[in-house]
Structure 1
Amino acid sequence: MSAGRTDVTIGVLALQGDVREHLHALTSAGATARPVRRPEELERVDGLVIPGGESTTMSKLADVFELREPIRKRIEGGMPVYGSCAGMIMLATEVLDGRPDQQGFGGIGMTVRRNAFGRQVDSFEAPVEITGVPGPPFHAVFIRAPWVERVADGVEVLGRVSAGPAAGRIVAVRQGNAVATAFHPELTGDLRVHRYFAELVGEAAG
């Protein structure tokens, strides 16, 4: 990536899920991070993280806090956005095994299968090589995670599970300024994914 601005602010959608962990990871990665619960708070950030959590609850609260359309419009306007686990589901254009009334924000042309890896007891960890993230394979933590069934033209596959019964499944993607992972980098202490996104935000703002 080319150099961008460093004086950027990244919001974390603070409706539900592992908000605190993402705020801490972004701050540790050198970014200015703020929780976002209201449309006026969304207006003051250069990029947005949609955390892991429960996607159906997140979908309902996005309407309660009148954030769904403002977030959609910011994404359509090019605001960088990163979704992890439930955040990946919220960025998908199609969700399999979701609730009929569940709505997301869109942003990435992909079909995601909700809870694809199984229930909470089936959570696991696995190494994943991520395109654009230098260094050894990322130690990925999957918790009731989705996977990507298929992607549209223009969507770059950044990472796949490399071993086990789910080997080959797509778990990291990017389309333009939108990035998503099926795993939780905020739980590992490895800041490379958050630095990658912070660089993307800086590049878009610069």
Structure 2
Amino acid sequence: MIRLEDTYRHKGQRRELVNLLRKKGITDEGVLNVINAIPRHFFFESALHSHAYEDKAFPIGEGQTISQPYTVAFQTELLEVKQGDKILEIGTGSGYQAAVLFLLGAEVHSIEYQPKLYERTKKFLPRLGININFYQGDGSKGLPAQAPFDKIIVTAGAPVVPHSLLEQLNVNGILVIPVGDRNSQKMLKLTKVSPTEIMQEEYDNFAFVPLLGDEGWKPSK
């Protein structure tokens, strides 16, 4: 088993990263405190440890990436996480975003499309004391068996907002999702004001890997 070490150097790099996120406009102290607490280098191959606290996305295999810290912080801030929120995460990936949500006090349900990533992260996160609910499958359709959810976060770019996700959201719930083409997506925050009314807010453009599935992009053959 790989030994996980969090040194003074790593902690200093995290403080610098948090300062950078503040300069970029992240104001939620809860989000910043959690990012300061999570050893992001644990989520990287050892050869890439020196890059773990750069504000960049990095590949994690299976055509997926660990999102840049600013993106994680931005999406999490939009989600307005409250203690005890039941949150669905679409795209477990490395598990870093799920760890952020868990440490903010959420009950996290996370679904991953890629079987190998699902197996790897399901084994890895509990080693850090991060206990979430793992699922493997088509996240574009949500997780109807566990619905409804207070919040839903999508960490892959969708061509449209999947109708299934809005259906699985509680009234007053929030969905944060990047929507656009395969190269660039606009970040959307959708609040379910009533069973039939959605309030939509638009933010900056980001670049995510594609959301694969029936209500996302069709996988390449």
TM-score, normalised by the number of residues in structure 1: 0.29
Higher-Rg structure is 2
- Bigger relative contact order, structure 1 or 2, given CA contacts below 8 A and separation 6+? 1
Q: Higher helix proportion, which one?
A: 2
